[in-house]
A and B are shown apart, each in its own frame.
Chain A
Amino acid sequence: MKGSVYHGGRALIGSEEGRVLSETDCGKLADGLAGFAQGGGKTIPEIVSWWQGELRWGRNRVTLASDRRDVRIKVKRQVLGTDGVATTNETDDASLEGVVRAAERIAAMGFNPAQDAGAFGAPPPVALEAPRTVVWSDATYNLTPKARAEIAQALVRPAEAKGLLSAGYIEVRAGARLQIINGQRFYVPYTHAQCSMTVRDPQGTGSGWAGDTNYDWAKIDTTALTEQALQKAVASRNPVALEPGRYTVILEPQAVADLLEILVRRMLRPPVVPGWAAEDGGGPFAKAKDSALDIWRTKLGSQVVDNRLTLSADLADPNLGILPEPGMKPVVTWIDRGVLTGLDYWRSYAVAQLGLDSALRSPALSYRLSGNGPETSIPEMIATTKRGVLVSRFWEVRELALKSLLASGMTRDGLWLIEDGKITKPVKNFRFTESPLFALNQLEQFGKPERVFRPVRSPDVPGLTPAVVPALKVRDFSFTSMADAV
């Protein structure tokens, strides 16, 4: 057997210090894969290793506490101009050889034209550097099962004392990814933590929610979360029906993020589908066809939202915590004071379809929305509202039209009527039909940007998707029907 990583790899995953494979171990696995390659060509591995400590509770008692770990070894073999990809989660020599052979057999079928791997799908023209941002937190990695249990109990106790029912989840994750792009090795370790809870009254007439995600557990204020969920549960009880229609809304930061999700997915990482890019006339940022040149003009340089708003990402932003990837732009601004200044594509698509070449890519799905000018707190927004609705969060926001980004979804976990500068009563949930672009154009006031709940749900997908957004007060937001679920 060739340089065996069998004992190294296996023993390590099961050990305390081996919860996440080290750079050396990932390197050994990558070497192992390369060593088993036959028939020339390239061997392009990606190794993802993760550990998670989890705790879940329902009806005020812990229902499951768990410790899980796994590794994904994905290898692309590029032989005679074709690609083959196979994946396994076993680290011994025979399994590594097996997965390399599987990839070679698929390559030998000759169906996949070769593409250089890596995050780009096409070879970058310059040597890449992985931005050196630290997204590792010992507080996350070292949050023990006992500590998790104690935190959970502290979160549940106030709800139980008030005769309410709490359900929630704490998760701490540590992971590492090794990528090899153009022969260069990039190893990034990271942590990810989330805490969220739902508090309901036993009759099911009120519900409150709170949640936070960050790479650093120490930054998550669990006491504040439980207070918020409890307060919302109590204050949202016995809601009254309100007529659907256009309302001034105060969207709490979580609601803003829920609404913006479809917009940022279009803007930061448009799918690699022909005809969807602005330059092909697709999506919300295509402007008009220039028939003389037979090309589409985009809205780059045009005002697309209220001129006080800026949408950007900065790897150095301590409130974000973005997982650095090789070739990632350190700073990117998509919308600068209302004006569209950046669009992002997979590099392979940009080169092949659009004739654009940029070596660097924007941080995937991580962003900050901020206002330029004086910030208004939520109580001030309420005090200055004659008649409006306060929204806690949205649920199942679905896009209905690609060009306008018209979408529909529901409110949940707390909705209140504001009359003459005061919250007067909880109201039943609404379904809305509205576009995030419309909302961002009907801006009245904005608050201080805050971190929102935006977890990467599957540990198999390495990454972090932090977002920082302000609360927004928006005119004429369209609620189209009542949905009386609590």
Chain B
Amino acid sequence: MSTTQFTRRDLLKAGSTAVALALLPRPLLADFGGPTPVPVPPIEDPDVKKLALRAIEAARSAGASYADVRLTHTYDRQVNGNSLLLTETQYQNLLPLVDEETMHVGVRALVNGYWGFAASPIWSPDEMARLAQEAVNQAQVNGLGLVRAVELPPIPKVVDGHWSTPVKRDPFQVSPLEMLDYMHSIGRYGELRLDRHIEPYNFVARAWFEYRCVMQDKAFASTEGSYLTQRFYRSHGSLQVEGSKGYKNLSHDDLHVHPAEFITTVGEGWESVGYDQATMREKIRQFYEEVLIPELLLPKQSVEVGRYDAVIEANGVAKLVSQTLGRATELDRALGYEANAGGTSYINDPLAMVGNYQMGAETLTVTADRSSPGGCATVQWDDEGVKPEDYTLIQNGVLTDFHTTRESASWLKDHYTKHQRPVRSHGCAAAATGREAPLTHVPNLSMAPGKESLDFKAMVGMLKSGIAIKDINPTMDFQCLNGWVPNPQVYRVRDGKCVARIEGAALLFRAPELWKGIRALGGPDSVRRFGFSSAKGEPAQETYHTVAAPPALFQQLTLIDVRRK
């Protein structure tokens, strides 16, 4: 019998759709109560609904006052564009393509104010009943006589809703061969361009291009009568150039890494990285000419420890928003529910601080949503069946709200009532798959830009003396309070110009002082968006969100020598 021994040319000739289909595994099976298991149908299929309702019924009759079920079917594909650029003996475990397909189901039940959860990989009527019973059992045993009040503010019932992340090119319908071909050629082009430009400097470089796509079908049902299905897409693209100067081989002690910021993690399809060759090459050329080459031409300078006014590029500001503002305003975290996992928050008395705590300068306004097109956290309904609403987290520097779920929204009842606002979840309940119980996660965040049309360069131009920062990787403490940024890409600025590259520095900051020290914000045209992951919980779970932010000018940031003991 002939096997699937395609040659690469055969596959390319066959066209992308045929190839994509050939490369997808056959659908997994599920047992819908018929005589034999059948391939998993599209998520909107009534059979999936029957399965979900089976779990709901079982949970209700086992004694749950509330229960919900999530069935997920997840495709995960990693395409490694570097694989062909490396010799065989290097990176032996780096495969160009890794495919994973998994199914999960998780039932959550509420009994006497306690939550129970049970999950497994099996979709079948019996398993739905078993998981429901187990979730109720888990919830029941935890009261032990202690009362715990859980209030779930009402939400509109949604019956048979369906939604899908809009994508221009479904990444699972694009041939992995096409992807690899494209990525290899871009990686190759990246190396060649770099060589040509910097050969005189004896600079060794390599371009890394990676892509991972995730597609997830999810069905949700609750005892309140909602039933809805969604399909999500997420694309993790990354292109970065690594290089070191003056060595034959890449040296990790003097390694420069430059992520190309036009590729990030987004709630989109292959279109997020798969530009046409000419566009992509133009972007890379620009990236080299505007970011890399100028940097290489600048003289190196060691750190002069001190405090400097600093312009931070949009990606750095977005990371700071995510880690210091986004995480600190998870209500469960602020109240101490995450104390034994990721930590707590410097907003340490959230119910008293909401509405009056000064988080930053008057120019700091941050809104939250799960609706921005292309946002990593964008959904139609969250993992509790809530249609998320857009809300203002920080208005003119004042903390106005928190990320909430149905349960945690009720903790803010007094605040909402006082301000004549409805007690309602913002729809931040999320979990990676049906295997994890949902927790409050950071939604998409947008930091409002300034009114003037400033960009990074213009803000650097405003500095008489200071520093300019292109990229940072902040580490926050367990209260999201003190930040430390080792080895930022930082430049000395004099009279509005970058005059030297500062090596071996670290930034130190405290979140409230950082945000209170905003002197200027980039204009609307300078806003960029970036996707980040954030992990929390025990057992740990990870979700993604997008942050849109402009570059910003901060006053008096502390720069230290990263290696000084």
Contact = CB atoms under 8 A, between A and B. Distances in A.
Contacts of A368: none
A122 B182 CA distance: 31
Contacts of A171: 538-539
Interface of A: 6, 10, 13-14, 38-39, 52, 54-56, 58-59, 61-71, 79-80, 83-92, 94-95, 97-99, 101-106, 108-113, 115, 121, 145-146, 149-150, 152-153, 165, 167-169, 171, 196-198, 200, 204, 207, 209, 246, 272-276, 282, 346, 348-349, 352-353, 395-396, 398, 400-403, 406, 408, 410, 412, 429, 431, 433-434, 457-459, 478, 480-481, 483-486
B95 A101 contact: no
Contact of B90 (A71, A150, A274): A274
B83 A98 contact: no
Contacts of A150: 144
B243 to A, nearest CB: 14
Interface in B249-299: 249-253
Contacts of B404: none
Contacts of B126: 14
A109 B8 contact: yes
Interface stretch (B155-163, B340-348, B393-401): B340-348
A408 B138 CA distance: 41
A85 B22 contact: no
Interface stretch (B96-104, B188-196, B215-223, B379-387): B96-104
Contacts of B346: 485
Contact of B142 (A65, A79, A105, A486): A65
Interface string B329-364: 000100111111100101011000000000000000
Interface string B79-105: 000011000111111011111111110
B141 interface: yes
A65 B114 contact: yes
A153 B5 contact: no
Given A167-B339, A274-B90, A481-B508, A105 B562 contact: no
B238 interface: no
Contact of B539 (A10, A84, A272, A457): A457
B27 A98 contact: yes
Contact of B141 (A54, A146, A395): A146
A65 B22 contact: no
Interface in B171-189: 176-177, 180
Given A85-B95, A406-B563, 20 more contacts: A10-B31, A13-B121, A38-B4, A65-B114, A67-B135, A80-B5, A86-B25, A98-B25, A109-B6, A112-B96, A152-B142, A207-B339, A274-B249, A275-B250, A398-B486, A408-B562, A433-B565, A457-B539, A459-B539, A480-B564
Nearest to B335: A59
Say whether chain B's binding surface is mostly helix, strand, loop, or mixed: loop
A446 B100 CA distance: 47
A457 B142 contact: no
Contacts of B225: none
Given A68-B435, A153-B146, A275-B250, A109 B477 contact: no
A63 B565 contact: no
Given A94-B39, A98-B28, A14 B4 contact: no
* Closest A-B pairs by Cβ, 5 of them: A58-B337, A39-B3, A102-B25, A66-B117, A485-B479
Given A86-B25, A102-B25, A431-B484, A402 B102 contact: no
A402 B255 CA distance: 11
A12 B98 CA distance: 28
A108 B562 contact: no
Interface string B549-560: 000000000001
A55 B99 contact: no
B141 A95 contact: no
29 contacts: A13-B122, A14-B120, A14-B127, A56-B537, A58-B335, A65-B138, A67-B117, A68-B120, A70-B119, A86-B100, A87-B102, A102-B23, A105-B4, A106-B23, A106-B95, A108-B6, A111-B97, A115-B93, A153-B146, A165-B336, A167-B337, A196-B340, A272-B93, A274-B90, A352-B89, A398-B475, A429-B477, A459-B539, A478-B565
